[in-house]
Amino acid sequence: RTCSQQRHPLACTQNAKMTTMRHDDVIDGLRHVTSCASVCSSKEPPYRQLTWEQQQAGKAKGHRADILSILPRGKHVMVDVTVIHPLGSQQVGRACKTTAAAAVAAEKRKESQWEEFADRPQYEFVPFALESYGALGPQAVEYVKELGSVASASGRVPKSVFVMNAYKILSCALQKGNARMYAMSLTAVARSVGEHFVPGFDVPVVDG
């Protein structure tokens, strides 16, 4: 059975590579937004503030911040990006009733995972959750607004304009990744029936 016969393309494990690429696209988009606010950031910061045991525990469980941002007044923020599909089997029950429910759940899950080793007195942790259809979690929204406040303090751009442009950048990065995942799934489906999917065509074409 093909990926699309079993589950939605945006929740299919066969699209793992495309999922990673989408995640990286969103990270790059968020770093671009961060730089537009004149805030310094680094990608996948090291665990220098943690003990060796904490570092190994974090790596083993996949706990590694995606972005370290240094905001005004020396505020260090560790941002961990995650993209969740609201129609996944574990999310759809809540997602069909409450806006951004899947993103809220993803943020809470990230926070609980980080609690055991995060150095909160030194670093503030922000779980930046997006749903594959575009909704952002409340902490992600607040972080974008905070960057907007930093950007507007310079007098170069109003906060509302910065936030609107930030959402556009993040949305484009997210949907570009979604498009790759759909294309990968349609290719697998076409091959399973002896046809060939060409991105840009309305229907699969026969091989040969």
CA distance 43 to 20: 15
Spatial contact of 79 and 43, defined as CB atoms under 8 Å apart: no
Q: How far does the chain reach from its first CA to its final CA, in angstroms?
A: 24
| Angstrom distance (rounded) from CA 193 to CA 204 | 10
Please list the pLDDT of the chain residue by residue as tens digits (208 residues).
334 334 555 555 556 677 888 899 999 999 999 999 999 998 877 655 555 455 555 554 545 689 999 999 888 898 999 998 887 767 776 766 778 888 998 898 888 877 765 555 577 889 999 998 889 999 999 999 999 999 999 888 999 999 999 999 999 999 998 888 877 776 665 566 556 666 656 555 555 5
Please name the helix (run of DSSP H) or strand (run of DSSP E) that holds residue 75, with its range, or none: strand 75-84
| 101 CB neighbour count, 10 Å cutoff | 20
Question: How far, in Å, CA of 90 to CA of 102, rounded?
Answer: 9
> What are the Cα distances from residue 13, in Å, to 7, 8, 9, 139?
9, 10, 9, 27
- pTM (2 d.p.): 0.76
Dmax over CA atoms of the chain, in Å, equals 64
